[in-house]
Structure 1
Amino acid sequence: MNLFLELRRHGKLADKRHPMYDKNKFGRFWMYLMAAFWAGYLIFFGTTFAFALSEESREPYQIINGGLIIILALDFLIRFPFQKTPTQEMKPYLLLPIKRNRLIDCLLLRSGLSTFNLFWLFFFVPLAIITVTRFYGVTGVVTYSIGIWLMMVMNNYWFLLCRTLMNERIWWTFLPLAVYGAIGCALFIPDDSPLFDWAVTLGEGFITGNAFSFLSVIVVIIALWFVNRKVMQGLVYSELNKVEDTTVKVRSVSEYRFLDRYGEIGEYMRLELKLLLRNKVCKASLRSIVIIVLMFSGILSFSDIYDSDGMKNFIMVYNYVIFGIMFLLSIMSYEGNYIDGLMSRKESIYSLLRAKYILYSVAILIPFLLMTPAMVTGKLTVVSCLAWALFTAGAIYFCLFQLAVYNNRTLDLNTKLTNRQNMGTGLQNLISFAAFGLPLLLNFVLKIWLGENTTNIILIVVGLGFILTSRFWLKNIYHRFMKRRYKNLEGFRDSRQR
Structure 2
Amino acid sequence: MILHFLKLEWKQYFRSSHWEKGIAIKIIMGFFVLYFLVAFLAVGVGGYFFLRKEFPESDPLQIVNSYLLFAILGDLVFRYLMQKLPIMNIKPLLILPIKKNKLVHYVLGKSAFSIFNILSLFFYIPFSVVLIKEGYNTAGVLGWLLTMILIIQSANFLNFLINKSNKALIIIGTLLVGLIGLQQFELANVVDFGGSIFDFIYQNPIYSLIGVIVLVVLYQLNYKQLRNQVYLDGAVATKVEEANTADLSWANKLGDVAPFIKNDIRLIWRNKRTKTVFLMSFLFLFYGLIFFTMDAYKDKLPMLMFASLFVTGGFTLNYGQFIPAWDSAHYKMLMSQSFRYRKFLESKWVLMVTMTTVLYFLSFPYLYFGTEIFLMITAGAIFNIGFNSLFLLYAGSFNRKRIDLTRSGFGNTQGTSATQFLIIIPLMLFPMLLFWIFDKFVGYNSGFIVVAAVGIISLLLKNQAMNFIEKKYIKDKYAMINAFGKEA
Task: Provide TM-score, normalisation by structure 1.
Answer: 0.71
Unaligned runs of 5+ in 2: none
2:200 matched residue in structure 1: 197
How do residues 87-486 of structure 1 correspond to structure 2 at under 5 angstroms? 87-88=86-87, 90=89, 92-93=91-92, 96-97=95-96, 102-133=102-133, 148=145, 151-152=148-149, 154-162=151-159, 165-175=162-172, 178=175, 188=191, 193=196, 195-202=198-205, 216-230=210-224, 242-244=239-241, 252=247, 254=249, 256-260=251-255, 262=256, 265-277=257-269, 279=271, 281-283=273-275, 285-290=277-282, 293=285, 316-344=308-336, 348-372=340-364, 379=371, 384=376, 386-413=378-405, 415-416=406-407, 421-422=412-413, 424-429=416-421, 431=423, 435-436=427-428, 439-440=431-432, 442-478=434-470, 480-481=472-473
Q: CA 1:387–1:84 in structure 2 vs 1: closer, same or farther (change >3 Å)? A: same
How many residues are matched? 469
2 CA distance for matches of 1:420 and 1:191? 32
2 CA distance for matches of 1:328 and 1:201? 51
Percent identity of the aligned residues? 19
What amino acid is the match of 2:254? L
2 CA distance for matches of 1:277 and 1:162? 19
- SS of 2:204's partner is helix
CA shift, 1:28, in A, is 2.1
CA shift, 1:362, in A, is 3.8
TM-superposition CA deviations, 1:146-176 (whole Å, max 9, x none): 9837733641441452376254324443147
Unaligned runs of 5+ in 1: 206-211
- SS of 2:249's partner is coil
1 CA distance for matches of 2:410 and 2:445? 48
Whether contact under 8 Å (2:66, 2:196) holds in the other structure is no
Q: CA 1:163–1:362 in structure 2 vs 1: closer, same or farther (change >3 Å)? A: same
Higher relative contact order (CA 8 A, sep 6+): 1
Whether contact under 8 Å (1:331, 1:407) holds in the other structure is yes
Q: CA 1:371–1:107 in structure 2 vs 1: closer, same or farther (change >3 Å)? A: same
1:493 matched residue in structure 2: 485
Whether contact under 8 Å (2:438, 2:447) holds in the other structure is yes
Q: CA 1:115–1:266 in structure 2 vs 1: closer, same or farther (change >3 Å)? A: closer
What amino acid is the match of 2:360? F
Whether contact under 8 Å (1:121, 1:148) holds in the other structure is no
TM-superposition CA deviations, 1:178-215 (whole Å, max 9, x none): 5998999797566994641223433xx7xxxxxx85x5
2 CA distance for matches of 1:192 and 1:338? 52
Q: CA 1:383–1:221 in structure 2 vs 1: closer, same or farther (change >3 Å)? A: closer
**CA RMSD, 1 decimal:** 5.1
Q: CA 1:108–1:448 in structure 2 vs 1: closer, same or farther (change >3 Å)? A: farther
Task: Provide TM-score, normalisation by structure 2.
Answer: 0.72
CA shift, 1:113, in A, is 1.7
